[in-house]
Structure 1
Amino acid sequence: MLGSSMSIEDDAERQELEEELTPVNSASDPFYVLILGSDARESDSGSRSDVIMLARVDPSSGSVSLVSIPRDTMVTINGSTQKINAAYAHGGSAMAVRAVSEFAGVPISHFVSVHFEELEEIVDMLGGVWVDIPENISAGNGGMSFKAGNQLLTGEQALAYARERYHVSGGDFGRAQAQRQIVEAVIRQVLASSPVELPGLIGQLANCITTDLSVTDIVGYAQEFLGKELTVYSAICPSYTLNQDGVSYVATMFNEWKRMMQLVDAGLDPNDATAEIPSAQADNADLGAASNSPAPRDYEGLAANAMTTDDVAAVE
């Protein structure tokens, strides 16, 4: 049964979202999920998505690819240049799905929204999560300091780590990496539970999210992963900071983004510089096309003089 806190309460919004989502043919087929997170403490409007993550889930191979899309990514929304996180503010979940689907060039089948405060509850419900923090971090906007190394984080610590963008390498890009680490840790912790415990655990966790999925759907997908060696790939849309008309944006490195999405769609490591693109993905002109981005297409010189997604601290 769908938990009341999971459902999208507004009927019109729910209908609009359903029209944007692409159904999955079978439980074993790969599919894309849009994961949004918001932090009302830092957001003026309280409705912009601070976390935008595209996940490709492949139950048959036991793999998940997590790809961050920087919240300040320059796109066109309703005919004007905006940051991609404005899509959720202007048009709710349906417009957010549409914006990310156009940007990545893939159909999106499911939507999940998590508030930062709910993230703390999820982590504590799991008994904490193991995260390898790549650098020493002094307390900034997250409110906590951390030593580098693999460590068990409480919900409060995970929330602080997911928020920190002032004292991490790469700023917002580094924060996006931390958020992917925590999502991966949650996934691993859930799938490490026994088949008997799994439905009850997911039922509890489901109360902390808003999604089009039912508890039964989530349990079914999770059960497809049981008995398989879980592979999680983690990446961020190759990007750089750009100031245009007095507004700070994140602009896309188009060639690198296209290749990354080709690898993601093929179920390969999106960070593998030597991987050969399969013909099915090479022939797909939509993958990583970022057709809704007005950012400069001649970007090499701009990126060379800006902060980029390569400036984050490397996770071993």
Structure 2
Amino acid sequence: MNADLQDAGAEPATDTAPPQRRGWFRRRAGWQKALIVLSVLLVFLIGGVTAGGYVLVNRYEDKVDRASLLPSAPAEEAAQSRENWESGALNLLLLGSDSRAAEPGGTSPIGERSDTIMLVHIAKERNRATIISIPRDSYVEVPAGGSWKGGKNKINAAFAFGGAALTASTVRQLTGVPLDGAMIANFTSIHDLVDAVNGVNVCVPYDVKSTFSDREWKQGCHDMDGAVAEEFMRQRYNVPGGDFGRIRNQQLVVKAVIAKVAKDKLLFKPLQMDELLGIAADSLTVDQKLDLRDLVFAVRDIRPSAITFATVPYTRADLRTPAGSAVQLDTKAAAEMFAAVRNDTIDQWLAEHPDGTVEDEDEEGE
């Protein structure tokens, strides 16, 4: 069984051999689908789309699936979220699932996990956004829900046991960040989007050798069509940092799509815009309480250069656990990062901690 799809509590994952080559293009992994949503919400609805954005939302909203993705929030927190949509910072949960067949808000089939878990922070001033990836193998406390009785597990197991709602509860407990909305991306692969923009140019800061073919991407910039971009982003074994390198590759492709949309002014080309939004709408499940018009308004002034990508700091990527090899988050650094999100100072925190680490404080001076 693929280690990524192991049931919680199974034998520890070895994660030493590359995945099977056969049929991997036909399997639509969650992170591929989530990238489509990122591209759409933070590109096509970003900058230049004002009143016209509402017309576009009306056109595609019927294609978007709706489900209850977030657990009920305390009255005070729900009231605060309503205020946030008016004038505060916003925090959205973005997930990528392996199958559209499962009920997004309920228990998922054993083995289905969320390969992409991202916290999207939109600043109070509505002029910048930060996308924080939470490593899918992070070993955290998963509260009871669905078929899970509660306890330590990989964070992506929450989706398998209790769907998006349990994942949201886990992220809320881990970060202390109240969630103002949630989305799941399904089915459509990244190569559809890349092909729709006629390919992208991805600049790679290290050498990557494919485990699926004889392709190799040397350090530098490479033109990629949809199939090649999909293969590049699936790399995990011959990329620096393993799964963290794969997260970096995902971010590189998203940035390349953003750059291509801006360069070709696709916001102002109705036919291309129609195709791109159609791809996104078909892949998206949105929380039933999330108003897409409010989201358009919230991100309309954010430019591509004002989108920052980050990953939650960690100390080990080979922690041995009953759920298999897992990631141990850096408790101190992660706590500081999450506090910065809550305080809407994440940009400042990232500037002060470019490598995601914090120094241990010595005892107070005399």
> Normalising by the residue count of structure 1, what TM-score does the alignment of the two structures yield?
0.71
Q: In structure 2, how many angstroms separate the alpha carbons of the residues matched to 1:140 and 1:151?
A: 18
Structure 1's 210 and 246: CA in aligned 2 closer, same or farther, altered over 3 A? closer
Deviations 1:227-281 (A, max 9, x none): x573222221111121134721111111111222334431415433369xxxxxx
**Structure 1 position 57 matched with structure 2 position 136:** no
1:32, 1:109 within 8 Å by CA — same for their partners in 2? yes
Q: In structure 1, how many angstroms separate the alpha carbons of the residues matched to 2:86 and 2:296?
A: 11
Q: In structure 1, how many angstroms separate the alpha carbons of the residues matched to 2:261 and 2:111?
A: 29
Residue number in structure 1 paired with 2:199: 128
Residue number in structure 2 paired with 1:301: none
The structure with the larger Rg is: 2
Residue number in structure 2 paired with 1:294: none
* One-letter amino acid matched to 2:345: A
Structure 1's 231 and 17: CA in aligned 2 closer, same or farther, altered over 3 A? same
Q: In structure 2, how many angstroms separate the alpha carbons of the residues matched to 1:29 and 1:143?
A: 49
Q: In structure 2, how many angstroms separate the alpha carbons of the residues matched to 1:194 and 1:60?
A: 26
Q: In structure 1, how many angstroms separate the alpha carbons of the residues matched to 2:326 and 2:231?
A: 24
1:1-316 to structure 2, matched below 5 A, reads 1=58, 2-8=60-66, 14-15=67-68, 17=70, 19=72, 22-23=81-82, 25-26=84-85, 29-39=88-98, 45=110, 47-58=112-123, 60-77=125-142, 78=144, 79-115=150-186, 117-140=188-211, 144-190=215-261, 193=265, 196-197=268-269, 200=274, 203-204=277-278, 205-212=280-287, 213=290, 216-225=293-302, 228=303, 230-239=305-314, 240-241=316-317, 242-245=319-322, 247-264=324-341, 265-273=344-352
* One-letter amino acid matched to 1:66: I
* One-letter amino acid matched to 2:181: H
Taking only the aligned residue pairs, the percentage that are identical comes to 29
Deviations 1:97-152 (A, max 9, x none): 22112212211222222247422212222333333211111111588432222333
1:35, 1:113 within 8 Å by CA — same for their partners in 2? yes
SS of the equivalent of 1:272 reads helix
Structure 2 gaps of 5+ residues are 1-57, 100-108, 145-149, 355-359, 361-366
Structure 1 gaps of 5+ residues are 9-13, 276-297, 299-316
Structure 1's 16 and 231: CA in aligned 2 closer, same or farther, altered over 3 A? closer
2:69, 2:183 within 8 Å by CA — same for their partners in 1? no
Deviations 1:75-95 (A, max 9, x none): 222222211001111111211
**Which one has the bigger helix percentage?**
2
SS of the equivalent of 1:26 reads helix
> Normalising by the residue count of structure 2, what TM-score does the alignment of the two structures yield?
0.62
* One-letter amino acid matched to 1:268: D
Structure 1's 201 and 58: CA in aligned 2 closer, same or farther, altered over 3 A? farther
